[in-house]
Structure formats: C-alpha cells, structure tokens
Structure 1
C-alpha cells in the first residue's frame, strides 16, 4: 500500500473535523452547557489558586505572578490532549464491545483515524483562559518580549503538551490488555492537576516521581523555567522538547502495538 503523506492526512483530518463539528452543533444546547461547564471549571480552579495566594504571598520562592505564569502555561499545554485526543476516553468501550474492529480496515494510519474522529471544541475555552493568564503574568513579571523568546515559548509549549498526550495514550492503551483499565486512565488524568505547581514544593520522593516516573513536571515546570529563569536553567529544562517527543513516540508505539494485537472479539 502506498504510504500517505502529510498533505493527505491534513486533508482527511479537515473533512473528519468538519463532520464532527456539524454533529456537535446539531445539539447546540448540549454544546453550550458543556462549554460553560468547562469555563466555570477553569474559573473555580483559578479562584482556589487566588485564595491560596491571598494567604501565602509566595510558595518556596515562587511569587504570585510566577505561579500564575506556570498555571497558564499548564492550561495551554494541556489543551491539545483535551481537543485532539479526547477519543481515548471511549477506547475502552470500543474495544470491549468489538466496535474497534472497524478502524482496522481503513487504508490509513489506525491511530490517526481513531483519534481524529473526535475534536473536543470545549478545550478551546481552556486554551483562551490559559493565554489570558500567561500574557497577564508575562506583563506583570516584566519579561522582555523578543522573537527568540516567542520561538522558545512556542516550541516548549508544543513539546510540553506531548508529555500529557503520551501519558494519556499509554494509559488508554492499557484497555487492550487490562479489563478494568478505566482506573488507570482516570488516575493518570488526575495527575495533571499537579502540573500547575513547581516540582520544588514537593518532597524529594514526589519530585522524583513527577520527574522520572509520572513526568508531569515536564508539562509546565521545567519548560517554563526557560522563560522565567533564563540565567539558571537546569539541563532537564533544555531536554524537555526531546523528552516530550520521545515519550509521545513510545506511547504511540504502545498504542499501536495493542491495536495490532486486537482480536475484535469484544467482551
């Protein structure tokens, strides 16, 4: 079979996305309610964050605006997994019902085809909220804006998002081998809430876990240091893009390995 190029996949994705958005807009009330729910969820998280800093002006040397920068950075980094990989939550049902077999007979990449079927537009509200927080804190901190600085934050935001995508891909793929895999996916997803905090506020054990076991520190903390503290950037911060790419590639291989072993019998 002839290998498809990127132009082909972009064109196919555009058509699939258009159909998905049409189906969502046919239930406008559900779309509006779920979107408002996402917005209020982010607002409530910010209110909790603001209340915390009303009592503690700084946390382990991190000021309010630096923490706000980290918060906004994490929201933006988490947006791609919310928008483009939300179908991972349905993978378990497709596998156990046997319906996943339909994806195995299309002449395109199986992972691409499955993930592209769903675009969670509610994630755009989170993205806008994160942008506002990032820009506001950027101004308050007084970071000098340059084209190189913009390039850095763009690259580190994109590659940081690959870490959470990788974690969710690997957790979702557990359903190919484990029946009660939902708890694995749910546990991994809940860990994202710790991404908005600097890893230095945790005990040495959790620092190790959040860096080398469940590497959520690479979703916001390590990448953001390149912008916030350019004079004292640890090696792990510079390695963040490479780590994001490697983790995503490994998770993709795990996901595809499980999909290729799928028998289609359901349960």
Structure 2
C-alpha cells in the first residue's frame, strides 16, 4: 500500500507538470506515433517486393509488429530510464535517491514515468485486432488471459535487460554506449527469427531474448508450429521473471557498490 500510494503521488505530479506544458505532451505523443508509423510503413514496403518473409505473410508480420508495440509501450511508460547514467551517476542525482527509504529502482522508474507511451500500446492492440480479423484466427475468452500473460512476460524481459544495462553505470564513471546498441538489437525481435542465421537466432532467443517480446509470443496465436515458435511462446512469462530477476539482482549489487558522485 505504501508503494501504491507513492506511485499515485508521482503520477499526480507528472499530470500537474504536463498540464503546465500541454503542447509538449501532444508533440511527444505525435512524435512517438510517427516513429511507430514509419516502422510499420517499412514493413509494408518490404512486402511490396516479396510475397512472404521466411514463410510469413504480410498480415502475419504486421500482427507480430502489433504485439511488439504493446509490451514495448508498457516498458517505455514505466522503465524508460534511457538517460540513467548521465542524470543519476554523472550529475549525482543517485545520492539524493539513496537518502530516501523507498527502493532506489522504484524511485528512479517513477521519476521517469511516461504515460503517453501507452498510446503506442493501444495502437498495437488495434493493429493486432485488425490482423486477427483479416487472418481469420479463432478467438476464445481464454486467449485474452494468455495474451495478458504473454504481454506481462515480454514487458518484464524489456525491464530486466534495460535495468541490467542501466546498472552497468554503477561500475563505470563514464556514460555507457551500450543502451543505443541494445535498442537497435531489440528491433530484430519483431521479425520472424527464422530469417536469421543460427547464431543470431540463438542470441535473440536465449542470450538477449528479444524474440520473446515479439515474434515468439505472437506466434502462439498464429499457430506457427512448423517453426516450433508457438511451443516456446508459453515460456515468455517464465523468461520474463528470470530476466527481470537477474536485472534486479544486478541493480541491487551495483547500488551496494556505488560510493557517491564525489566532488
């Protein structure tokens, strides 16, 4: 209850700030939608030159992209700590965070909460629904529960990986350049993994499991049994818990090692 109360207070403060600068809020929403729209247009352009991609049709790949947008929007809302190193380590704001009784990661996340990113999740859900109808996929009430579990698992994978990457800053005084690289790698997860060679496929599935944030869980509903993807889909929540647990442990260890910004 204490953390829920803190969460609500942070959200109220965020709303007050955004109401003061309303134009910035809508510009941010529009820029995010334009960015996602460009990614979708790229997929559509690819299918102007080929009828399928690794055995996947245009509607199936767009369906995967729609799913990809949902956990990514949730992650960006609550775990968007892209500038952690510069703000909290280089500028010393981590010292302020550690003087407060709440968990340090919880504070950092809420200070960077970004609710407009949830609009991207809503757009992704709309894309999925449209493709679901176009592909004539069967639907059952149980699919909603499974979809929710897969989305939570995928969001936790994002959260765990980027929490671990942010925690690297505790071991280095200089801002790390790994986050932009990881951001580019994650985009591979929205395409069928069978189009990559075995090494990249293994990396995206088991080392940096970005395949579990897009193509693998989405394949459960597409029933891509030929690629054994739908059989892996139900592992998404398990992978999410493992990756997030490792990321949190790495963060906690880094906090213990942190010695302050100095002078």
Quote the residue 2:25 is aligned against.
Answer: 31
CA distance in 2, matches of 1:60, 1:180: 41
1:169 aligned to which of 153, 163, 172: 163
Trace 1:136-175 onto structure 2 (pairs within 5 A): 136-175=130-169
Quote the residue 2:57 is aligned against.
Answer: 63
Quote the residue 1:259 is aligned against.
Answer: 255
CA distance in 2, matches of 1:89, 1:266: 20
2:44 aligned to which of 39, 46, 50: 50
Quote the residue 1:244 is aligned against.
Answer: 240
* In the alignment, structure 1 residue 110 sits paired with structure 2 residue 104: yes
* In the alignment, structure 1 residue 78 sits paired with structure 2 residue 72: yes
TM-score by length of 1: 0.92
How many residue pairs get matched?
261
CA distance in 1, matches of 2:18, 2:170: 28
* In the alignment, structure 1 residue 209 sits paired with structure 2 residue 203: yes
What per-residue deviation string (whole Å, max 9, x for no partner) do you get for residues 45-70 of structure 1?
11111111122121111111111110
How many Å apart are 1:231 and its aligned residue? 5.6
CA distance in 2, matches of 1:213, 1:266: 36
CA distance in 2, matches of 1:155, 1:265: 40
Quote the residue 2:120 is aligned against.
Answer: 126
How many Å apart are 1:195 and its aligned residue? 1.6
Unaligned stretches of 5+ residues in structure 2: none
What per-residue deviation string (whole Å, max 9, x for no partner) do you get for residues 110-156 of structure 1?
21122112221331221122111111111111122211111111111
CA distance in 1, matches of 2:178, 2:58: 33
CA distance in 2, matches of 1:13, 1:102: 18
TM-score by length of 2: 0.93
CA distance in 2, matches of 1:207, 1:199: 6
Give RMSD over aligned pairs. Answer: 1.7
CA distance in 2, matches of 1:243, 1:150: 20
How many Å apart are 1:204 and its aligned residue? 0.9
* In the alignment, structure 1 residue 98 sits paired with structure 2 residue 84: no
Higher mean alpha-carbon deviation, 230-239 vs 219-228, is at 230-239
Quote the residue 1:3 is aligned against.
Answer: none
